[in-house]
Amino acid sequence: MGLENCPACGRLFVRSPVRDVCPACREEEERQFQIVAQFLRRRENRLATMEQIVAATGVSEMLLTKFIKSGRLTLAQLPNLGYPCDRCGKLIREGRMCADCSKDLQRQLEMVKKEEEQKKQQAFRTYYTDKGRNGR
């Protein structure tokens, strides 16, 4: 816990593990969450995309993404809703990266690991030279 400036409005507040904005902005976020929740309660709106929800409610895409990532909006009954992959921007429904980016990152990590092992193997090699009897 510490004193920080609110990322939304700039006011000072005491940050805690459960609060990342000041009390005033937290109330505003809660009000906007209720607008989104009310919109999505209607069965016909459950097929809405992120853009359609933003247009209908006026709530920012960034805040909608925050609601999804924090678990306040569950995607189980919202098949067209997702948030962008941290790496490529492709829409995903869980985690931080899409499957393709995860595989690529894993492949890159394996390559780095192989390179490190090769460097270790080369460091342990010993080279002998035969100078002969003349010392040349």
Is beta strand 91-92 parallel, antiparallel or unpaired with respect to 83-84?
antiparallel
The count of domains in the chain is 2
Asked, for residue 132, whether it belongs to a domain, the answer is no
Do 69 and 15 lie in a common domain? yes
Which residue range forms the structural domain that includes residue 97? 85-124
Do 105 and 50 lie in a common domain? no
50-67 confidence digits (pLDDT tens): 999 999 999 999 999 999
Do 63 and 20 lie in a common domain? yes
22-42 confidence digits (pLDDT tens): 999 999 999 999 999 999 999
Asked, for residue 74, whether it belongs to a domain, the answer is yes
pTM exceeding the 0.75 threshold for the entire prediction: no
Asked, for residue 4, whether it belongs to a domain, the answer is yes
Q: What is the three-class DSSP state of 5?
A: strand
Do 60 and 104 lie in a common domain? no
